[in-house]
């Protein structure tokens, strides 16, 4: 294997993909902006805090007073009875509690901040990130790349390759890098969503944003297209025209802004702007039931992508309810999984009959597509078995671990498949980064000829493990013997 970090070595990418809540300290003292400075400074000293917040009547931060402010603005200048508002910094730069740690690091560095309040969904402070403790989790070589992640959406999307390259050079496993890229992609979806909401009238009802496909699995590479949808709060039929008019304009704006940020539109139309992917929970339930009954064409294609869904923004409860309903649908209609397996049998691995690497490149080239003919058969087979066993996890490695825990897979087979997944992911990611560095569109075609003999042997073994697993998995649903 190419990566050098041991399983016990803490991965900087793994830390960055985690949320900010694990790194934050308790919230500091808070006061109304008219509170006397003498009172706020006394509370600051008593709490041994390095900052206090000024909050509005609803408890939302509107200013911050730090130790630096005390030295710069208060000492020998402002009397104790002066209001907090006279010395505080406003507005307050903050992040939300569902933000990735990468975002907090980027904000701290870009703003030269020592403190970053963390806000809950109601906009109130639920914790504080301190610069020294937060940056301690990040390697020095990575920090320069993280600076770009404080920019606008397009800059953040472009910076992903630099961050991944830096971490790969430090020996971070590809799975952690892809987890980081996926986490950044989901947070970009949330940022775009927030801006679109601010640009439109208030929504007529609540909704949950779903991401599907590779985003739903947390396995996005450098240039994923969009696979998203909305679960709408239920509403009376008489309100349809009003509700649909708002969501039609909103979803169109959302998908177009995602495209501008670097997420291509889905060629198959699997996006919230398509009414098929914008439904109430009862309508989604009926849609899944319809696919289970139909089991042909688009129904199977949509099932492969949609069944990896997870909530990316909004209340996660509707997505959890839909996941539970999917389990009931599949339990009552096992023929759907059999039909999906029959369709997935076309996913072959990139080996020839004689054990060489397949030529998947159009024209004179002989490169092999290790995503389509390596990762995808493994992803599809793990998905089918997890859905059959009622496993809620959507990530491929999480599914393999759950299948092993249930005894569906042996510990040895799960370990071999995990190693195969890691190697194939590493191979594809390195190719995409090389393409990006060369000014090309990131792709999945890999030239195996220059690779050392040992690496080519590892890739063959990985593909053989995937072939054995995928054939066995698909055959267990279709009854076809290979």
CA dihedral 34, 38, 43, 44 (to 10 degrees): 100
CATH architecture of 12-151: Roll (3.10)
pLDDT score of 63: 94
How far, in Å, CA of 339 to CA of 329, rounded?
Answer: 14
Do the bridges between strand 95-96 and strand 115-119 make them parallel or antiparallel, or are there none, so unpaired?
A: parallel
Largest CA distance in the chain: 86
pLDDT digits (tens, 9 = 90+) for 380-409: 999 999 999 999 999 999 999 999 999 999
Q: Is the Cβ–Cβ distance between 378 and 409 less than 8 Å?
A: no
Q: Where are the beta strands (DSSP E) in 294-335?
A: 310-313
Do the bridges between strand 368-369 and strand 445-446 make them parallel or antiparallel, or are there none, so unpaired?
A: antiparallel
In this chain, the answer to whether the domains covering 174-333 and 342-478 adopt an identical fold is: no
Of 8-12, 239-243, 298-302, 390-394, give the lowest mean pLDDT range: 8-12
pLDDT at 150 over 80: no
pLDDT digits (tens, 9 = 90+) for 438-474: 999 889 999 999 999 999 999 999 999 999 999 999 9
pLDDT score of 140: 61
The alpha-carbon radius of gyration of the chain (Å, integer) is: 25
pLDDT score of 121: 86
- 5 by DSSP, 3-state: which? coil
- 230 by DSSP, 3-state: which? strand
pLDDT at 364 over 90: no
Of 80-89, 144-153, 428-437, give the lowest mean pLDDT range: 144-153
Instruction: Enter the CATH code of domain 342-478.
Output: 1.20.120
pLDDT score of 479: 82
CATH classification of 174-333, choosing from 1.10.1060, 3.30.160, 3.30.460, 3.30.200?
Answer: 3.30.460
How far, in Å, CA of 88 to CA of 62, rounded?
Answer: 9
pLDDT at 353 over 70: yes
Of 84-93, 156-165, 236-245, give the lowest mean pLDDT range: 156-165
pLDDT digits (tens, 9 = 90+) for 121-149: 899 999 999 988 887 766 565 666 667 67
Helix (H) or strand (E) holding 280: strand 278-280
How far, in Å, CA of 165 to CA of 332, rounded?
Answer: 46
pLDDT digits (tens, 9 = 90+) for 15-73: 676 678 888 899 999 999 999 999 999 999 999 999 999 999 999 999 999 988 887 66
Domain boundaries, the chain: 12-151, 174-333, 342-478
pTM to 2 decimals?
0.80
Q: How confident is the model at residue 296 (pLDDT cuts 50, 70, 90)?
A: confident
Q: What are phi and psi of 219, to 5 degrees?
A: -125, 30
pLDDT score of 69: 80
Q: Where are the beta strands (DSSP E) in 94-137?
A: 95-96, 115-119, 125-130
How far, in Å, CA of 299 to CA of 287, rounded?
Answer: 9
């Amino acid at each position: 294997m190419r990566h050098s970090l041991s399983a016990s070595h803490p991965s900087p990418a793994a830390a960055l993909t985690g949320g900010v809540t694990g790194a934050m300290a308790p919230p500091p003292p808070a006061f109304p902006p008219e509170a006397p400075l003498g009172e706020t400074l006394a509370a600051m000293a008593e709490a041994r805090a390095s900052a206090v917040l000024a909050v509005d009547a609803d408890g939302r931060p509107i200013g911050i007073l730090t130790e630096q402010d005390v030295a710069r603005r208060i000492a020998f200048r402002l009397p104790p009875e002066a209001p907090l508002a006279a010395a505080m910094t406003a507005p307050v730069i903050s992040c939300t509690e569902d933000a990735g740690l990468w975002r907090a690091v980027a904000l701290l560095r870009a703003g030269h901040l020592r403190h970053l309040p963390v806000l809950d969904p109601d906009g109130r402070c639920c914790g504080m990130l301190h610069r020294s403790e937060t940056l301690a989790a990040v390697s020095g070589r990575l920090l320069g790349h993280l600076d770009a992640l404080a920019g606008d959406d397009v800059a953040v999307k472009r910076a992903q390759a630099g961050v991944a390259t830096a971490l790969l050079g430090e020996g971070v496993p590809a799975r952690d890098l892809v987890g980081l890229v996926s986490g950044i992609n989901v947070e970009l979806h949330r940022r775009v969503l927030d801006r679109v909401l601010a640009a439109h009238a208030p929504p007529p009802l609540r909704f949950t944003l779903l991401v599907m496909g590779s985003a739903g699995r947390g396995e996005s590479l450098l240039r994923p297209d969009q696979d998203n949808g909305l679960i709408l709060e239920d509403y009376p039929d008489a309100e349809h025209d009003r509700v649909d008019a708002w969501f039609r304009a909103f979803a169109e704006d959302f998908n177009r802004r995602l495209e501008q940020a670097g997420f291509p539109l889905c060629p198959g139309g699997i996006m919230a702007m398509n009414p098929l992917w914008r439904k109430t929970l009862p309508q989604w339930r009926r849609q899944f039931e319809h696919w289970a009954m139909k089991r042909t064409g688009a129904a199977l294609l949509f099932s492969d992508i949609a069944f990896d869904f997870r909530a990316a923004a909004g209340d996660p409860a509707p997505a959890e309810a839909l996941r539970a309903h999917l389990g009931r649908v599949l339990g009552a209609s096992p023929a759907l999984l059999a039909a999906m397996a029959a369709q997935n049998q076309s996913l072959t691995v990139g080996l020839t009959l004689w054990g060489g690497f397949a030529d998947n490149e159009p024209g004179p080239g002989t490169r092999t597509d290790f995503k389509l003919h390596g990762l995808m058969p493994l992803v599809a087979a793990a998905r089918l078995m997890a859905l059959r066993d009622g496993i809620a996890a959507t990530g491929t490695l999480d599914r393999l671990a759950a299948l092993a825990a249930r005894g569906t897979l042996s510990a040895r087979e799960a370990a071999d498949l995990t190693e195969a997944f890691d190697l194939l992911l590493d191979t594809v990611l390195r190719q995409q980064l090389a393409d990006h560095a060369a000014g090309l569109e990131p792709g999945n075609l890999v030239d195996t000829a220059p690779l050392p003999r040992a690496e080519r042997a590892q890739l063959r073994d990985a593909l053989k493990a995937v072939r054995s697993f995928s054939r066995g998995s698909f055959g267990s649903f279709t009854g076809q013997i290979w």
